[in-house]
Structure 1
Amino acid sequence: MEPMDKTSPKIGFALNKVTTEQFAIIEDNYNEEGDINLETKIGFGSDVDNKMIAVFTAFTFKCNEKAFLIIEAGCHFNIKDDAWEEMLDDEKKSLTVLKGFIRHMTVLTIGTTRGILHAKTENTCFNQFLLPTINVSEIIREDSTINF
C-alpha cells in the first residue's frame, strides 16, 4: 500500500444514504462440493444537483461458474461545497475525484456491503460466505473521473 500523501486536501463529506441495489440467493446453483469463486465489481456515480458521489460494490459468489449469492450495495456521500467545486469541471461536465478519497469511500462501501450480506444471510447456511478484505489501492490506481 502506498503512503498517504501529506499534501492531499481534506475533503469534507458525510454518508447520506445506504442502498441495497440487489440481493439474491439462488439455492439450486449451490453445491457444497463445488468450486467457489467470487466476482467483484466497483462503480461510481454522482448527483450534481445534490453534490453527491455514490460508490457501488457488487459481489457475486459462484459455484461451478453459476451465481448462487449476489449482493450489490451503494453508499451515497454528500460532498461539502468547497470540495465539490474543486472537483467539478463545468466545461467537461465531469467530476474528478482524487484516488485517495475515492479509495476511502470505496473501503467504506465494501464494509457496508459486508454488513448487509451478513444481516441478510444470518441464520442460513449462506452466512459462511464472507467478503474478504480487499486492497482497494490495487484496484483504484488513479484519480477517477465521473462524467455527467
Structure 2
Amino acid sequence: MDKKPQKIGFALNKVTTEQFAIIEDAYCDGGDISLETKLGFGADVDNKMIAVFTTFIFKCNDKAFLIIEAGCHFNIKDDAWEEMLDDEKKSLTAPKGFIRHMTVLTIGTARGILHTKTENTSFNQFLLPTINVAEIIQEDTTINF
C-alpha cells in the first residue's frame, strides 16, 4: 500500500456474540487454568465495513470450559476505505495503528459480554486480562476478498 490514510473515520455499527459456551463438566476446581487467545479480521466490501473478532478459550487441564468469541463491525468512511482498498489485488490493507485500536475496542467488548453472561455464576471469577495488542499486531493487516 503506497498511501496510508492519515485519519480514518469510522463508527461502530454492530456487536455480535459469535460463540459463547460454559462447559461445566470440563472445569476442574484447582486444576491448571490457561487462556487461549485468537484474533480474526474480515471485510464487507459492499457496506465498507471491517470486522474484528476475538476468541478467548479458558481451559482447565487443557480442556475448554469457557469459550467466548465476540465481533465488532465498524463502518469505514468512504475516503479512508478507498485509500485502503486495492481493487487489483481484491484486498484491503488497514494500518497497524488503526487495526490495533479496533482490536482493543473488540477485546473490551468481549470482556463486557463475558461478565454479563457469567454474572451471578461461579464462572464470573474468570476475567480477560489486559492484553498488549501492540505485541500481537506488528504490521499492517491485509484482508483479502
- Determine the structure 2 residue equivalent to 1:112: 109
Q: Distance in 1 between matches of 2:15 and 2:111?
A: 13
Sequence identity, in percent?
Answer: 85
Stretches of structure 1 that go unaligned for 5 or more consecutive residues are 1-6
TM-score when scaled to structure 2?
0.97
Shift of 1:134: 0.1
Shift of 1:113: 0.3
Q: Distance in 2 between matches of 1:108 and 1:10?
A: 18
- Determine the structure 2 residue equivalent to 1:76: 73
- Determine the structure 2 residue equivalent to 1:30: 27
1:56 paired residue among 43, 50, 53: 53
Stretches of structure 2 that go unaligned for 5 or more consecutive residues are none
Q: Distance in 2 between matches of 1:54 and 1:89?
A: 18
Superposed CA offset, 1:84-129 (max 9, x none): 0000000000000000000000000000000000000000000000
Structure 1 runs of 4+ with >6 Å offset:
none
- Determine the structure 2 residue equivalent to 1:134: 131
Q: Distance in 1 between matches of 2:59 and 2:7?
A: 39
Aligned-residue CA RMSD in angstroms?
1.0
- Determine the structure 1 residue equivalent to 2:12: 15
